[in-house]
Structure 1
């Protein structure tokens, strides 16, 4: 299946989500997201994203350090000392990956786990960023490289959703229904070790061999294990840290500090281990919390502000090129074309003769005259500096220099 479509204007990238599923996004959202697994066979070719050569490049030439790499054998994570060493002269760090040690452990049956590839491998940097934009939740990408006939991890569940993309080789996956549905981040599978083990011995929901081009979606909490077959198996695990209603509750609880009734001390001499003494206090506290929430001016705005700031910390927009950007600032002219930085986001508001851009935990304030220019840039395509509305050329140059320096816009060919 082709990865891109060609048009008269050039290649158009396929949706990142469409590479992970074989049904329309609307149906996936309705029937599978957070609910049920989805297996897509012979769906895509992921060689443009990752490959055996990429594994050798990362292990042998990129100087990875923990935690960007770990090794596991028969369900146990190996001590870093078994696969790392000093970087040698000029790179005196003790935990750089040792390709010789990795070879020895891999030959003995250990699985190589390359973590955080959405930060270090360019095709996956771009892929993960597009997936985040489409789904609205943070993503990470790991690669699991398993030698023939080996199992990296015993049956377990993850506290985040995953898309499994089989890159090369074959891997036998066994999937069982959750014993603890929709686990939160701190509700790890080891808290239910016995129940997970029992479930792993029962009738599986999915029992299939994944081959190159297959894709599998697993909601958090679904129990799984996988074993490589005749050849080395490489698959990507795209982890989606879905925001939950519990996260919304956490944002609303910030109102506690602003509510006098909820800041009050408990009675002197109370036995906090006695449910009878706590019961009336709990009732009063719940009533005060409900009153605080219903009396708040706009709880949705509060939640959006706090979750938006968290999203900015959890994700990264398009990278900037520091040297090229500084050069562009120096050479800026009316003919320079700039565009909003991909996946930077941001909300524009106007008050007190200022236009404010709120994005990724920061606020940028500019004269209100810059609002039309900012809104045009925020809407999408590249614009020449001299064509920005509402500003004369001198003002436009000042505004764009500021936006370039702050990493809000980038130059466009």
Structure 2
């Protein structure tokens, strides 16, 4: 699979292989911004634009103090109605100045650029990705020591924040994140964070990787409609009979064949990935440009797409993310040209494919978010 890695942008000098071998699910990882080109998926300007929206709502916007939520009535926008969930953004920032901490939950659902980032990262890591932004004034503590039931990737967007982490069988360790710094914590890793003489704005990426229990869930889904598993157990016996045990073990072993287990894992990952939203920040523009597509427009493959062309008899599949688009095998050369890294124009592609068919394929791949129109 050809790769342009969003995840590698997060890791900087640390390779993906090193991360999964040494840190993933095992140990924390702290990286200074300079070691990862200070890469951040959202800017201060984008956050400023976000907060200019007068219709932000609760619980996406939540205020806290010492880990406890502030009653929403304190910042509800009553001008929008007594039952409105719209927040009064002026009150929100007044309370922030008074020392309350502000959390923006699931920011990727409202910020298209961040949504695309999460979408790409989700497909790379085969798991659901979501985001929260935490804004904390000076000299404030966030949540008391706690653990999260998912992996955490923290990126410092502005100011600085000191994290205290609690490695197993080791003394607590303090790490101060400054703008551009990165911290990874596996799930269930105890931690707490607070600010000192500086404010803090940091982005947290949550990642919930598939587990063995997900395999069991996929196994259950696969058998619940099968008649042999719908066979009733004898209600007259409190315990399973030897025959029932033998039959059940035999049916389960048939399901536990290696190829089926691979399918269960893929299904678990696909479910996780599908839960992540993707909102284009150019949806109308993309649709209009696709409708008006011409030979002179410049196209390019979306940068973070991982793809593969796979031959299947008289067909060839373009596989990317969780999609498989079949084409006749004679289109292989033309498809390879569309997958190139450099921007191109359809008229520049040397192919025996006619204009009508070329436009049809290009429009399909634009709609499927494989290609994009370059300005």
The TM-score by the shorter chain falls in which range?
Answer: 0.7 to 0.9
Q: Which residue pairs with 2:195 in the alignment?
A: 228
- Does structure 1 residue 173 correspond to structure 2 residue 136? no
Question: Which consecutive residues of structure 2, in runs of 5 or more, have no partner in the other structure?
Answer: none
Matches within 5 A, 1:150-299: 150-177=140-167, 204-257=171-224, 259-271=226-238, 276-277=239-240, 281=244, 284-294=247-257, 298-299=259-260
Q: Counterpart of 2:224 in 1: which secondary structure? A: helix
Write the distance in 1 (CA, Å) between the matches of 2:173 and 2:215: 33
Q: 1:147 aligns with which of 130, 134, 137?
A: 137
Q: Higher mean Cα deviation, 373-382 or 30-39?
A: 373-382
CA separation in 2, counterparts of 1:320 and 1:356?
28
Indicate how the Cα distance of structure 1 residues 51 and 73 shifts in structure 2: closer, same or farther if over 3 A, else same: farther
The alignment covers a number of residue pairs equal to 370
- Indicate if the aligned counterparts of 1:337 and 1:382 stay in contact, CA closer than 8 A: yes
Q: Is the 8 A contact 1:339 1:410 kept in 2?
A: yes
> Per-residue deviation at 1:99?
1.7
Q: Residues 310 and 396 from structure 1, CA distance in 2 versus in 1: closer, same or farther, beyond 3 angstroms?
A: same
SS at match of 1:96: coil
Shift in Å at residue 78 of structure 1?
3.0
Partner of 2:29: 38
* Greater Cα shift, 217-226 or 70-79: 70-79
Indicate yes or no: 2:24 matched with 1:61.
Answer: no
Residue from 274, 294, 300 that aligns with 1:333: 294
Q: Distance in 1 between matches of 2:37 and 2:321?
A: 34
**Residue in 1 that maps onto 2:63:** 71
Are residues 1:377 and 2:344 paired? no
Give 1:32 deviation, angstroms: 0.7
Q: What is residue 115 of structure 1 aligned with on the other side?
A: 105
Whole-angstrom CA distance in 1 between matches of 2:372 and 2:291: 14
SS of aligned partner of 1:267:
coil
- Identify the residue that residue 321 of structure 1 maps to in structure 2: 282
Q: CA deviation at 1:145?
A: 0.9
Larger deviation, residues 109-118 vs 316-325? 316-325
Asked if structure 2 preserves the Cα contact closer than 8 Å seen for 1:370 and 1:399, the reply is no
TM-score relative to the length of structure 2: 0.79
1:412 aligns with 2:369: no
Structure 1 length-normalised TM: 0.72
Distance 2:110 2:275 in 1: 16
Structure 1 residues 83 and 398, CA, compared in 2 at 3 Å: closer, same or farther? same
Report deviation, 1:35: 0.5
RMSD: 3.9
- Match of 1:97, SS state, is coil
Deviation at 1:111, TM superposition (A): 1.4
Q: 1:38 to 1:257 in 2, by over 3 A?
A: same
Of 306, 315, 323, the match for 2:267: 306
Structure 1 residues 342 and 311: alpha-carbon distance in aligned structure 2, compared to 1, 3 A threshold:
farther
Of 152-161 and 363-372, more deviation after overlay is shown by 363-372
Change (3 A) 1:240 1:385: same
**Deviation readout 1:333-384 (Å, 9 max, x if unpaired):** 3444434445566776676966666767777565555454345434654443
Structure 1: distance between partners of 2:339 and 2:197: 51
**Are residue 401 (structure 1) and residue 363 (structure 2) matched?**
yes
Partner of 1:23: 14
Relative contact order: is structure 1 or structure 2 higher (C-alpha 8 Å, sep ≥ 6)?
Answer: 2
For 1:162-217, what per-residue CA distance to the aligned partner results, in whole angstroms no more than 9, with x for missing partners?
Answer: 12222333323221246xxxxxxxxxxxxxxxxxxxxxxx9644223333343221
Q: Mark the CA change 1:121 to 1:402 in structure 2 (over 3 Å): closer, same or farther.
A: closer
Aligned 8 A contact 2:126 2:273 in 1: no
